[in-house]
Structure 1
Amino acid sequence: MGKGFYISKGVAVGGVVVAVAALSTIIALSVVYSQERSKTNGSDGEATVGPTNAPPTPPPSNEPWDQYRLPTHLVPENYTVMLWPRLTPDPDTGLYIFTGESTVEFECVEETDLILIHSNKLNYTSLENGQLARLTSKSPQTAPSITQSWLQTVTQYLVLRLNSKLVKGQRYQLYTKFTGELADDLGGFYRSEYFEGTEKKVIATTQMQATDARKSFPCFDEPAMKAYFFITLRHDVDKVALSNGAAVETTTVTVDGVTVQQTVFERTEKMSTYLLAFIVCDYGYVNSTTGGVLIRIFARKPAIDAGQGDYALSITGPILKFFENYYNSSYPLPKSDQIAIPDFNAGAMENWGLITYRETALLYDPEFSSNSNRERIATIIAHELAHMWFGNLVTLRWWNDLWLNEGFASYVEYLGADDAEPTWNVKDLMVLNDVHRVFAVDALASSHPLSSKEEDIQKPEQISELFDAITYSKGASVLRMLSDFLTEEVFTRGLQSYLKEFAFGSTVYTDLWKHLQTAVQETGTDLPANIDAIMNTWVLQMGFPVVTIDTVTGVVSQQHFLLDPDSVTPPPSPYNYEWIVPIRWMKTGAVQPPRWLQAKSETVNEMKTTGTDWVLANLNVVGYYRVNYDTANWNKLLNALSVDHLIIPVINRAQLVDDSFNLARAKIIPTVQALDTTKYLDKERDYMPWKSAINNLDFFYLMFDRTEVYGPMQTYLNTKVAPLFQYYKEQTGDWANVPGGHLDQYNQVNAISMACKTGLAECTALVKSWFSDWMTTGTNRIHANLRTTVYCNAIAAGGVAEWNFAWSKFEEATIAIEADKLRYALSCTKEPWLLNRYLEYTLDPVKIRKQDATSTIVYIAENVIGQSLAWDFIRARWSYIFNEYGGGSFSFSNLISGVTKRFSTEFELQQLRQFKEDNAAVGFGSGTLAVDQAIEKTQANIKWVGENKNNVLNWFEGANTP
């Protein structure tokens, strides 16, 4: 699944279902819906029943149906599933529903008189003897009879008790007929809506990962329970039906007096339930064929007609070919469909053969899309295509190993995108986007290891919590480090044999280590220890080290890096917070042979220096650790930046800034020493060091934009960014042209954004004039690269007229990427009442789509005027937000961390603790850990401000003095 956006999950709730007559199907759904929206009841022509002869739901017990993991008695072989989504609401109730029939064929591998199969929010038609399912045998021997059937709603099972045991080695078939709501909750089988002109269009689509296939049909919904799927969809005659397999037959049928089309799909490969997809829509597409594989890009017809699918189509084939070579394995399916969904809470989802995307992650329009939008499309497509082998062909056995699946795709997405767009240098950006990003989380005492114990990940909400920055970005970072010290040749050799052995099966992460170790031995690669010994220090303990190099003594040491060293003691570690650390380094600009640090400290005589020589470690930041030096070496590095910054590699210039600011926050070096790394920035023209500085200075803004430090800080930073602003003014012919390089285009945005932020009058006048021209003439001449920052700064400098104009353009926007730019910019206003009104809009899905609600609130909180408003807003409405947007929604961790990241006072800490206490009964779902981390970060911020405010103020005032 694409990182950065997360899937919404419905709250699992139970309840008694009432038996009703056939004609009252929709009425029953309506009654229950009005009582509790997350319960639906209905049938498809027969009586709808709930618990049949079932005891009341008991408290949690040791009974199998009260355990969250399936027993191992039954193994599915194949499913035959027919689904019929209704894309028009019932005129009486307004409800959208779907009906379905499913037959699962399974083998009994251990005798049992109990069948447990996952089911959530489905309502079953009464079959023989009033039971919820029909069991038949594939052998001459008669199947046992079902004596009891009920829905165990907490653990999400359909439970079937039998009058005798199933026979080991025999195959059986289980048939069910059911009804569900085609809700707008973005999980399972759900609906998405959009407008073409004034006509509302409805799509039936899916999002199964991690545990929502069970909302679509009863299934053994665990990743290792792979099976073949025969899917059939019924749909209106003017719609298109899509699924994982290719459509093999479409016929017209009449069901209950209604004429519909019925599309039958070819059998899938053996696969996990979470990778299933079924879609019914009124879409267009563009297509091509690469190496015999049919590639299609589906989207709204106006988007396809406007050519917005063309870029994705142009790079999908090359990226597929890249991964075929990388994995030494042909793409395992005959087609690769990719489709843009208007309402989609993830960035994308790697359904095998039918990948779903947010519109902003797939559709590209040169007029409206910036180069960052284009890069995002390339990397997300590469991420999802990487999963076609790693994750889909070979699947991790259980969710505790999710980090390897998502971390791997988050690493190789840069390789795939780099192959498609080789001039971008996109691989370098992983340091900013992933390594530095996750350092901030993994430096907390409340972080967690990459790999969890299988028994600790049981409930759906526990699984949801794993979709975080540690899983994606730390996973990617340590795998990049592993590939570097093995070499890419050895890494891919082990990877290829791993995929070959486990194709269509499931694994644990140590299976990959075994294959990599074999590759190491076959190639004679020299390592200080076995792969598992090295990597377990990175996988089985949280956090990362700071490596300290004393260039006077040559002593190289490591310690667990904690952003707040006085925070709560981290939990015990199996490796006592020591790592086996690969060190790539240089001395005074000359690259040296790599080293390993295998103990708490070692003496490396080669790292001693004399005179003006200096040492720089972690070249290109391929290692997952920070680096500190003795004061003399730091001063030499700062001098090198001042005299000739180009002698230091560009990634390491970004590293020096990032490491120093974070070492200062951890009290390892003085804060003013970190600020010294910014002195050379008036000479810096490269993107990565500037972006690193801006990212770190954002923390200073968060801590000081409500204090007397703000003014002197603004003055200083203005003097640093002004030369960059003038540089791009000259390079672009007074802003008439676009810089040639991909990263230069990014840095032009930095120049304008930072210049306006620090109050450069010329910048403010520039963005206001561009925005005013748009308002006056109706023609938007602002380049797509610059729109986000221009819109934001113009709205911030303007008033009601600018905000209302932007809102009208947001409402009119038919291109999701343009709508996203405006949605962010609307949060930049300095008018509190406009921000409050905007917050209210987030609870109206007609104004702000559900998928965008939490990120919009976070945008508002990033505004110093809006932060307290957003905090008050979510505190007052937490119960509603939590339940309406899904208790398992992955975006809740982002919401909580985003709204609280400015917290730096005792009063805010008290409010945060009270918020946790007041909502204990409601819960925080996947944001549970984020609440604790917010408390920890706030405590650290309070101490940091108290200890550094005066020194920082004095430093800025001194730097501003001629």
Structure 2
Amino acid sequence: MAKESGISKILAGTFVFLTISVIAGIVTMIIFYKTEIALMDPTPRPMFTSSTTSLPPVIRLPKNLVPQSYQVFLQPHLYTRIIEVVNVTSPNQTMLFTGNSTVTFHCVQGTSVVYLHSRNLDVSGPVVMNKDTNERIGVSSMKNEEDTRNFLEIQLNAALEAGGNYSLFLAFNGEITENLNGVFVTVLGKFLAATNLEPADARTVFPCFDEPEMKAVFHVTIIHRRDTVALGNADMRGEIRTIYCHAHVSSKRPLGQYNGNPRIKDVLPYTGLPCLPLSQIPISSTTSGNMWENVLCALCYRCVLPTQTYARPDAIAAGHAKYAANITGKILKFYENYFGINYEQKTLDQIALPDLGVGAMENWGLITYQEGGLLYEDGVSSLLHKEVIATLIAHELAHQWFGNLVTMKWWNDIWLNEGFATYLSFFAVAHMDNLHAAFEVDALASSHPLSPPQEDVQMTFEIEDMFDAITYCKGAAVLRMLTDIVTERVFTHGIKVNEDGGHTTVAKVMNTWTKQMGYPVITINTTNGEVYQKQFLFNDSSESSLWWYIPIRVMSNAAEPSLVWLESSDTNEFIAKSGEWILANVNCAGYYRVNYNRENWERLSTQLETDPHRIPLMNRGQLVDDAFNLARAKLIEVTLALNSTRFLQNERALLPWESTVRNLEYFVLMFDRSEVYGPMQACGMKASFCLIHPNLRSVIYCQAVAAGGAKEWEFAWDKFQSSIDTSEKDQLREALSCTKKIWLLNRYLKYTLNPEKIRLMDVGSTILSIADNVAGQALAWNFIRAHWEYGFHQYELEKGNMYSWFTSEHMLVRVEKPTQWQLDCELKYYWFKTYLLLN
């Protein structure tokens, strides 16, 4: 739980005038709602053709061969820059790479066919050797199935024998892409090549066994131009940079048990995180030096762990990477102490890339970030941005254990990577409030279990769809609930050692939370003690038979918190005495919502108004969030939700205000076309909170653009183009979407089709910002429909972010079957895929 601080009080105070104005406006708007909604004109739903092509029966590689090591040679044929010289024709930029690889593998079951993955590669020259006898085995044919499986099939003249060790040599060449996957190129003064391979793009760089269970040792050699730099996951030696990724095997083993069964028995990286190049890089670095206390020790390579943070030279010179460099060692030391296992690699580098399709990528020993996720600019970046950077670094460093050191067997359990990393990152920065992002998506009929059956996650798009708020945020929330059940001491001990005691009970409870989609709302009647559960869905007409083992930590104004299991329909623990209130889910440790009888809601509201600190801080935020979402699902009256905010006039902590403002945004959305929408524009009423505050720069920019016209928009656009400060550019880019001029928003949308104007990695967030603008909702929706094919393949937008207006009620009017329309809208093809800045 976050500590209340002076900063929180300042930030919370800035929301006071806005929220009071909004609440007053909302009460009035409810009267007009039913009349006004009939006037709304929904956009027709898009049409998609269904494919009749039958899927191949087998998507997974056979398990008869187990890779042990790779020797990979790569040469990107990339000029760092193209120099224009008069009367001299400049060479065209080459966008190719060539290479060869030798994979050594063990045969566990005899076979005369070798299957591995390859996609968009020209593969040639196969050579198969028996490593035990040093004899060559003839190859009769080789073909690459460029279907959904991406199998490279190599037919042999003789069968491989069980128990034997073999190697396969292949030459290959491929294309350096511009879509931020595989080996991709970006331009920032000079050309830069980088890699991003998770979850299924290692196969686009070299032929490999591209499944997480098939871990191996990688030895990678990068051949590059003399005036360039190559970075990798471990030590680099010689003029030709050879990158060794052999993991040091620790005796402190095992780690990462789940339900008593070890997931991975070794510590080798899987192909989603191999040691691959970042070449042609116009960067500088800042060294954090000795990451731990400067102590003397004799036989210990841990004394000094060199780390460097790489970024643009101007960003390094301005000190924008110092904050990241300074906190990395502290976070890493925390994890080593927490796990009781040392970081396995001998180096740890971090690099801020000008383009990256995800917020960050946890490559073992070389973590890549979008610039905004690593660079902090004093005087420009907000304190919230500093917290985002710290949390993101903590998340990626947690992956050095959960994900890299130990890895899930298959992608259906990716939450074991991302959920643990998200949960632990909040420990590392002493903050925990990731519940709401999971609640939003998990209350939809299109949600999925944390750990679906393996057969439901086979195709590449199904794997990619697993990287969503359910995996990250619900995974973290469920782990937090488990910690609360078993205590932090037991939980911490359990992820370090392999012990069977008690795992059966844990599995019994956790299966209901990991193998089912959604989450429950428990309803408590404090008059008679009756309590029941049902799945919480925004569509109140939906039926569900799902049931959970629910731990309820409950307290009252007369009793301290205690843990109660919901196993029957009534219990004495929930009967309130005269004048007493009951509070369930203390500190929001449980992954569920709580509803009460009206009398208890009113008593809790009275307590919040008279002495709010009697209610834990997280519950002060959660009571508001539960009330508004229960009202949205038509389980309680809207007036009850609005009344839950009355205590805010004396509240100075950030969390309850953040919860309130976020929930009021939904009401703003619902009434954006009514005549009473005007009173909600607090800045238009010249509220004092709109005056300049260092942490509200983004709000000020937005309001300035919104209040202005073309001249102001052009001014902000020019500043956006000329700025070299990452944080400043991000704030200006978002502010440009705030204009109320339709033609300017249309122009801005068209800019997203031009990577020279809006970088590919920023396309998704730019369109979502425009969609958040009342004037831009229909524009964004029509633009996405018009450019769906381009958007589906290029945008990589965040799954679920659009649903707040995409499935909102004003988009459902004049549709014969609004429930079916909502369900259609929730299909994964309508959602925008993972864009993650871990949130």
Aligned counterpart, 2:580: 613
Residue 186 of structure 1: how far off its partner (Å) = 0.6
Q: What is the TM-score when the length of structure 2 is the normalising length? A: 0.84
1:124, 1:336 → 2: CA distance? 33
1:468, 1:629 → 2: CA distance? 31
Of 767, 788, 793, the match for 2:703 = 793
Relative distance call for 1:881 and 1:609 in structure 2 (3 A) is closer
More helix by share: 1
Contact 2:128 2:168 in 1 (8 A): yes
2:354, 2:745 → 1: CA distance? 25
Residue 123 of structure 1: how far off its partner (Å) = 1.2
The gaps in structure 1 that reach 5 residues or longer are 1-57, 128-132, 195-199, 252-261, 419-425, 499-514, 522-528, 571-575, 715-753, 768-781, 933-962
The yes-or-no answer on 1:263 pairing with 2:232 is no
Question: What secondary structure does 1:793 align onto?
Answer: helix
Question: What secondary structure does 2:620 align onto?
Answer: helix
Question: What secondary structure does 1:492 align onto?
Answer: helix
Aligned counterpart, 1:83: 74
Question: Which structure 2 residues correspond to residues 245-264 of structure 1 after superposition, within 5 A?
Answer: 245-247=234-236, 249-251=237-239, 262-264=240-242
Contact 1:589 1:648 in 2 (8 A): no
Residue 929 of structure 1: how far off its partner (Å) = 6.5
Residue 285 of structure 1: how far off its partner (Å) = 1.0
The yes-or-no answer on 1:231 pairing with 2:220 is yes
The amino acid that maps onto 2:337 is N
Higher relative contact order (CA 8 A, sep 6+): 2
Of 746, 760, 768, the match for 1:836 = 746
Aligned counterpart, 1:379: 391
1:914, 1:627 → 2: CA distance? 28
Of 24, 39, 61, the match for 1:70 = 61
Residue 358 of structure 1: how far off its partner (Å) = 0.7
Residue 811 of structure 1: how far off its partner (Å) = 0.3
The yes-or-no answer on 1:904 pairing with 2:810 is yes
Deviations 1:866-897 (A, max 9, x none): 11111111111112222344xxx3x2635653
Question: What secondary structure does 2:720 align onto?
Answer: helix
The amino acid that maps onto 2:583 is L
The amino acid that maps onto 1:391 is G
2:467, 2:186 → 1: CA distance? 23
Deviations 1:544-564 (A, max 9, x none): 111222111122322222221
The yes-or-no answer on 1:367 pairing with 2:368 is no
Aligned counterpart, 2:166: 172
Aligned counterpart, 2:649: 682
Aligned counterpart, 2:773: 863
Residue 124 of structure 1: how far off its partner (Å) = 2.5
Question: What secondary structure does 2:109 align onto?
Answer: coil
2:831, 2:814 → 1: CA distance? 16
Contact 1:324 1:331 in 2 (8 A): yes
Deviations 1:272-330 (A, max 9, x none): 01012421123211121224321111111111111111111111111111000110111
Of 543, 547, 552, the match for 1:583 = 552
2:812, 2:564 → 1: CA distance? 45
The amino acid that maps onto 1:491 is F
The amino acid that maps onto 1:221 is D
The amino acid that maps onto 1:345 is G
Of 597, 603, 613, the match for 1:636 = 603
Aligned counterpart, 2:23: none
Question: What secondary structure does 1:338 align onto?
Answer: strand
Residue 476 of structure 1: how far off its partner (Å) = 0.4
Contact 2:669 2:805 in 1 (8 A): no
1:119, 1:925 → 2: CA distance? 33
Identity %: 44
Deviations 1:706-725 (A, max 9, x none): 1134246x3xxxxxxxxxxx
2:763, 2:558 → 1: CA distance? 48
2:425, 2:723 → 1: CA distance? 30
Relative distance call for 1:892 and 1:793 in structure 2 (3 A) is same
Greater Cα shift, 204-213 or 282-291: 282-291
Contact 1:461 1:926 in 2 (8 A): no
1:61, 1:662 → 2: CA distance? 40
Contact 1:857 1:895 in 2 (8 A): no
Question: Which structure 2 residues correspond to residues 254-653 of structure 1 after superposition, within 5 A?
Answer: 262-269=240-247, 270-276=268-274, 277-280=276-279, 281-287=281-287, 288-290=289-291, 291-418=303-430, 426-427=431-432, 430=433, 434-498=434-498, 515=499, 518=501, 520=502, 530-567=505-542, 569-570=543-544, 576-588=545-557, 590-599=559-568, 601-603=569-571, 605-653=572-620
Deviations 1:823-850 (A, max 9, x none): 0000001111111110000000000000
Question: Which structure 2 residues correspond to residues 685-704 of structure 1 after superposition, within 5 A?
Answer: 685-704=652-671
Contact 1:238 1:282 in 2 (8 A): no
Residue 587 of structure 1: how far off its partner (Å) = 1.0
Aligned counterpart, 2:714: 804
1:652, 1:61 → 2: CA distance? 48
Question: What secondary structure does 2:831 align onto?
Answer: helix
Question: What secondary structure does 1:393 align onto?
Answer: coil
1:265, 1:911 → 2: CA distance? 59
1:908, 1:95 → 2: CA distance? 54
Of 629, 634, 637, the match for 1:662 = 629
Contact 1:122 1:180 in 2 (8 A): yes
1:72, 1:909 → 2: CA distance? 50
The amino acid that maps onto 1:180 is G
The yes-or-no answer on 1:219 pairing with 2:188 is no
Residue 594 of structure 1: how far off its partner (Å) = 2.1
Aligned counterpart, 1:112: 111
1:592, 1:902 → 2: CA distance? 38
Residue 761 of structure 1: how far off its partner (Å) = 4.7
Aligned counterpart, 1:49: none
1:659, 1:109 → 2: CA distance? 54
Contact 1:80 1:230 in 2 (8 A): yes
Aligned counterpart, 2:35: none
The amino acid that maps onto 1:672 is T
Contact 1:550 1:556 in 2 (8 A): yes
Q: CA RMSD in A?
A: 2.6
Residue 396 of structure 1: how far off its partner (Å) = 0.5
Residue 94 of structure 1: how far off its partner (Å) = 4.6
Contact 2:512 2:547 in 1 (8 A): yes
Contact 2:127 2:137 in 1 (8 A): no
Contact 1:589 1:647 in 2 (8 A): no
Relative distance call for 1:761 and 1:333 in structure 2 (3 A) is closer
Q: What is the TM-score when the length of structure 1 is the normalising length? A: 0.74
Deviations 1:637-662 (A, max 9, x none): 12222333333222111111111111
Deviations 1:788-832 (A, max 9, x none): 111001111112221111111100111222111110000001111
Deviations 1:663-691 (A, max 9, x none): 11222211211111123322322211111
Contact 1:658 1:692 in 2 (8 A): yes
Relative distance call for 1:379 and 1:797 in structure 2 (3 A) is same
Question: What secondary structure does 1:584 align onto?
Answer: strand
Residue 354 of structure 1: how far off its partner (Å) = 0.6
